[in-house]
Each structure stands twice: as structure tokens, then as C-alpha cells.
Amino acid sequence: MDSVVKTKKRIHGLGKIAFPFRFMGYYFTGFIVLFTQHQRGEASWFANIFLVLAFTMPFVALGVYAWRNCNEKIEHWFLLGDTFMAACFSNIISFTYFPSVAFLSMCAANNMGLNGNRQFINSLFSMLIGFLVAHLCNGFRIQNDFSWEVSIVTTVLIVIYNNFYAFANFKSIRLLKKAHQEMNEQKEKIEMQNRTLEKTSLELKAAMSEVARENKRTTNSLNYAKRIQEAMLPKIEQIQEKIPESFVFFKPRDIVSGDFYWFHHIHEKNHDLSIISAIDCTGHGVPGAFMSMIGNDLLNHIIVQNNISDPVQILNSLHWGVSSVLRQKETENRDGMDIAICVIDQKNKVLEFAGANNPLVVFQNNSMQFIKGNANPVGGLWNKSKERHFDKRKIDISIPTTCYIFSDGYQDQFGGVNQRKFMVRRFRELLLNIHQEKMLVQKYILEQTLENWIGKDGEQIDDILVIGFKI
């Protein structure tokens, strides 16, 4: 695009190149006519008209160039005007057929050689018309006697000027043609680029439309999977029916989640057990959601169907179940789960806890206990061994007790001024500050703290699950 602008500027400048040559030629002829009239003491109305045209023609040409820009067509017509005026001038001064015909032939031949046959023919007619007009107009003669000296000198001067001007005009025309050729080449390149861009744009639009359709189909599938996963999760009303003071803060990173929670209540003669668990599966999104389906199905089978309520036995059975379902001995698959499970015996006022990597936080009498789970996941090839050891911890809940189980998503979330992790220490302090509040207030504070920590420009990096309950 820059080269096109430069080419237009160069073409516009060609009119300025031709102006000084026209100026010198026309004013030279005009002053010769004035000088001759002064010497002879004769005046001619035709010569006066010629003088007016001679003195104004260069500025008319310059004005047209400035108005319409210099181009080959405009230069062609001005060259015809120049040859017409030259024919008139040669006839006015010399009043001799010989120098006029000689000048006509040389000028036309020069134009033919420089600018082609068309310009030769046009120049020929222009010179003849100028010659005839000068001959036929009354009073065109400035001198009545034949003079070889004047004729020869006049013819030589005009021929020299014409060749000099024709050479300058030749350079202008060549520059002009070259500039037009460059413009046409640039125009063709731009048109080709535009066609290529248009084709690319259409292909890009088609590709984007296809991506949008695929994205919509994928999103619809994920939303459907989300509804299935939500149907799998226990309703908060079901949990609060047995543990009234409780909340679940569940925030998947993607549409579906690798974190999930599980709840079941067992009512027996000697026991009134509520089993609640927070599970963090390997990965997030679709892979994590598949693992959550496996974990949920296994917990239903272990606790509901096999009636196992001991937290250590539950973890061991879950570990063997995951390893078996994923054929981890054969495939060396490393997927697994981190889990915190609490068995609450409301009648005997005892809480039993077992954890696989995930802890339990307990508050009693405004004092905090941080009970770690065993450093073993459920499933996977941790230390390339299928054997796991899980410890059971018993907690007396005869006094008011507030408990929290959670995945690592909250404490691992990046944010703050320096974009660092929230960290376990800060999370414990947060729980200490809010544990005496009502459960709904606690959930709200957790949500707002996380939102402020991530900030407007931050992104959630993992699924987040926090369960709190007071017994």
C-alpha cells in the first residue's frame, strides 16, 4: 500500500517536471514574437492571440496537472497543443513553407520515435492545422519579405527547442508509464491478496462455525453429564435432615468435577450412624468425573449393600475396589482418590475418622485439632504396592463439636497480591475465625474469601470441596 502512495506522488510530480520546459519554450517564442513586432513596428491580432496563449499555456498545464494529476492521456493532449503552437509560431515568424515543412517533419518524426505511431499521426495533424490557421488568418504576417536568414535561424531554434522538450517529455512519459505499470502491478497484487484474504476469511469463518458447533455439542454433553453427576450427589436437605447444622461448599473448576461428597445414614437398634465423606479424585473435569462415578458406585456397594460402617474397612475395601475396577495390576494405572470419611454415632456420642491423604479439623471449646489422614491414597500405584495401612481415630462428641473435611482445592488455589497459594496455615486460621458462626454464614464467608483471593483476573485451578458440620 505504501508503494502505491509513492507511485501516485511520483505521477503527480511529473506535471511539475514538464512545467519548466513548457515555461521556457513558450516564453522564448513569445519574446521572439514581441521582439520581432517591436523591430518591424508591425502588430497582428493573430500574433497577439498567440502571445496570450504562449504566456498562459504553461500555467494552464500546471493547473490541470494539480487538479487531475499527471497521466498519459492529459500529457498526450498537451503535447498536441505544444505542436500546434509551434507550427503557428514557425509560420508567423518565418512566413516560409520550407522551414515550416522541415520543422513539421522533424517534430512529428521525433514524437513518433519517442511516443509511438499514434502520437506521430496526432502531431502531424496538429502541425498541419497550426500551419494552415497561421496562413489563413488575416494579418498573421509580421514580415512580408522572404528572408532565408530569419527562416533558417527560426527553424533551427524551434527544432532545437522541440527536441529538447521532446526529450524531457519522453522522460516524463516513460516515468509515467513505469509508474502506471507499477501501480497496476501493485493493484493486481493487492487484489490477489484481497482474494486470498477473502478466501482465508471464509475458510476461517467456516472453521470457527464448525468449532462453535463442536463446542456447543461438547458443552451440551458436559451439561448432561453434570446433571447426571448432580443426581448422584446427596441432596443437602438429606444431609441436614440428620445433621441440621451443616453445609457443603462445592465449586467444580469445570462443568463436571473430580471432587464429590457422599452421605448415608444407618439406623439400627444399638447405633444411629451418619457416614459423611469428602473425596478428591485424580484429575478434574471429565477424567475426574469418571473417577467420581467409580468412587460413588463403590461406596454404595461397600456401605449400603455390604453394610460396612467401620471407616478403616471402608477405605481398604474402596482401595481394593478401585484397583480392581481399573485393573491397576495389569495396566499400571495410577489414578486414585484422596478421602476423608467420618462415621458419626449419635447415640454413643462418638465420631470415628479415617483418612487417605485428607485430614479432619475439629473444634471443641474453641480449641482446634488437626487430625491428619494416612499418607496413602486410595487406589493408584503408590510405592508400587497394593497394600495400604489406614488408622482410625475416635473423637468424643459429648460436648459441642464442629468438624470440617475438605479436598486440597481451597488451600492450593493461587491468588492474592503475589499470586501465591492460599496454603494450609491460612485455611486453618480462616476456619478458626468462622467456626462459631452459623453454618450458612460460614459457607458465605468461605465463598467470598475465595472469590476475593482469586480476584477478577484469576482462574480457579482445581475443584473445591469443603464440608462443615456441628454436632
Which fold would CATH assign to domain 233-470? Phosphatase 2c; domain 1 (3.60.40)
Q: For the chain, how many residues are written?
A: 471
The answer to whether residues 465 and 406 touch, using CB atoms and an 8 Å cutoff, is yes
The answer to whether residues 148 and 104 touch, using CB atoms and an 8 Å cutoff, is no
Three-class secondary structure of residue 124 per DSSP: helix
State the Cα–Cα distance between residues 238 and 243, nearest whole angstrom. Answer: 9
Query: With the C-alpha atoms ordered 455, 459, 462, 467, is the resulting torsion angle positive or negative?
Result: positive
Which residues lie across from 368 on neighbouring strands? 363
pLDDT of residue 22: 62
Which cell goes with 276? 459423611
pLDDT of residue 371: 95
pLDDT of residue 301: 94
Q: Mean pLDDT in runs of 10 for the chain (471 residues)?
A: 47 51 66 66 65 70 63 62 66 53 54 53 61 53 47 55 54 63 84 88 87 83 82 92 95 89 87 92 82 92 93 93 86 88 93 95 95 90 65 94 96 91 94 95 96 91 95 90
Contacts within 8 Å (CB) and 24+ apart, 297-301: 298/322, 298/325, 299/262, 299/264
The answer to whether residues 133 and 92 touch, using CB atoms and an 8 Å cutoff, is no
In the numeric block, the cell 522564448 is attached to 28
Domain edges within the chain = 2-194, 233-470
Report in angstroms the alpha-carbon separations of 260 from 390, 460, 470: 21, 17, 20
Neighbours of 420 (CB within 10 A): 12
Beta strands 272-281 and 259-267 are antiparallel
pLDDT of residue 409: 93
pLDDT of residue 188: 87
Three-class secondary structure of residue 357 per DSSP: strand
The answer to whether residues 273 and 344 touch, using CB atoms and an 8 Å cutoff, is yes
